[in-house]
Structure 1
Amino acid sequence: MTPLQQLCQRNLDLLQRLGISHRLVEHEPVLDYPTAHAVRQRFGLRGVESKSLFLRNGAQRYAMLITLEGARADWARLKTLLGSRPRIASDEELIEQTGCVPMCACPFGHDASITLLIDRAVLTCDFLLYSPGPPELTLEVPGGELSRLLKAQPNAQLEYP
C-alpha cells in the first residue's frame, strides 16, 4: 500500500471507528477549486471545501493549517502561534512528510509530529468537504462531528486565528 493509500485508509478507518457518518465519492482528480465546485455540483455534495496548507516552521518542524476555501493565511498570527514565521513547505516536503499530492493536502490522519492549526470557522460549517488523500476522492463530513474527529487525532492542535 502506498503512503497515500495508507493515509486514505487511516481517515476512513477513523471515521468508521468513531461512528461518524460520512459520504465518500470518487471522481476525476481535484487539484483546484473550479474542479472541486464542478464535482460538488455533479454529486450534490453539501458543505464547504477545506483548505489545508502544509507549513514548515524551522528545522524539520511541520504544521498543517486547516481552514476553508477562500481563507487567507494570517502570517503574523501564524508566527505568534508557532514561535517563528513559517513558510509553505515544498511539494517534496509535503509528499515526504504526509504522502499527499501537491494541491491536494489532506487535513487529517498525519504523523503526530505535525501540528494542526485549526481555523475556528471549520468547526462552524454544516459539512466539510475534503480529500482523504487521493485527489480522486472527496469526503463529506458533518461539521457537528469535526470536534470528535479532531479529538481523535494524535497531533498537537492550536486554535487559529
Structure 2
Amino acid sequence: MSLYDRNLALLNDLAIPYREVHHEAVLDYATAHVIRQRFGLRGVESKSLFLRLKGGRYAMLATLEAARVDWACLKSLLGARPSIASDTELVALTGCVPRCACPLGHGAAIDLVFDDAILEHDYLIYSPGPPERTLEVATSDIARLLPTLRNRVLHFHSG
C-alpha cells in the first residue's frame, strides 16, 4: 500500500472528512502559498522533517511551516541526538519525495514527534505523499487520529 493510500485509509477508517486538491508539484513554501490561495485552503501548512537518531532509529517531526526546530528539545524528547535524514533514507523508509515529507502514514518503527501548536489552528494542510496532492483536515480530527496511530507519538509545543 502506498503512503498516499495509507493516509487516506487512516482518515477513512475513522470517518474523518477531508478535502483533497490536485495541482502541480509543491516542493517549497512559495508554491504551497500559491496553491493555498488558488484553492482557498484554510488552515496552517505543515512542515515535516524526517530525522535520523543516534542509535539507528528514525522519527518524523510534524510542526508548523514557520516553526524553528529546537534541537535540544528534540534530543530530550527522543532520548537521542537527532539529525536530518538523507533524501535516500527519506525515500527508502517513508516513500516521501524529498522536500515533500508527509507527517502521517509511516511504519510503526518511525516515531511521530507532533507539535501541539498545530492544534491551535482550525485546519492542517499537508501532502499525503505525492507532491501533486494536498489534504486539508480539521485539527480536531487530527487530534482524534493521533492516538490511533501505530507509531509512538511524542508531543511538544513550539513557540
After TM superposition, the score normalised by the length of structure 1 is: 0.94
Tell me, what secondary structure is at the counterpart of 2:51?
A: strand
Match of 1:93 among 74, 89, 98: 89
Q: What amino acid does structure 2 have at the position aligned with 1:51?
A: K
After TM superposition, the score normalised by the length of structure 2 is: 0.96
Structure 2's unaligned 5+ residue stretches are: none
What are the residue-to-residue correspondences of 1:11-90 with 2, within 5 Å? 11-90=7-86
Identity %: 62
Structure 1 residue 60: Cα displacement: 2.3
2:156 is the alignment partner of 1:149: no
Match of 1:122 among 107, 118, 121: 118
Query: CA separation in 2, counterparts of 1:149 and 1:27?
Result: 26
Structure 1 residue 10: Cα displacement: 0.8
**CA contact under 8 A between 2:55 and 2:80: conserved in structure 1?**
no
Query: CA separation in 2, counterparts of 1:127 and 1:159?
Result: 18
| Cα-to-partner distance string for 1:16-58 (whole Å, 9 max, x where unaligned) | 1111110000000000000000001000111110000100002
Tell me, what secondary structure is at the counterpart of 2:13?
A: helix
Please name the residue that 1:111 is paired with: 107
Structure 1 residue 84: Cα displacement: 2.2
Query: CA separation in 1, counterparts of 2:126 and 2:148?
Result: 17
Query: CA separation in 2, counterparts of 1:106 and 1:91?
Result: 13
Query: CA separation in 1, counterparts of 2:79 and 2:16?
Result: 34
Query: CA separation in 2, counterparts of 1:143 and 1:14?
Result: 14
**CA contact under 8 A between 2:43 and 2:121: conserved in structure 1?**
yes
| Stretch moving more, 11-20 or 110-119 | 11-20
Query: CA separation in 1, counterparts of 2:9 and 2:31?
Result: 27
Structure 1's unaligned 5+ residue stretches are: none
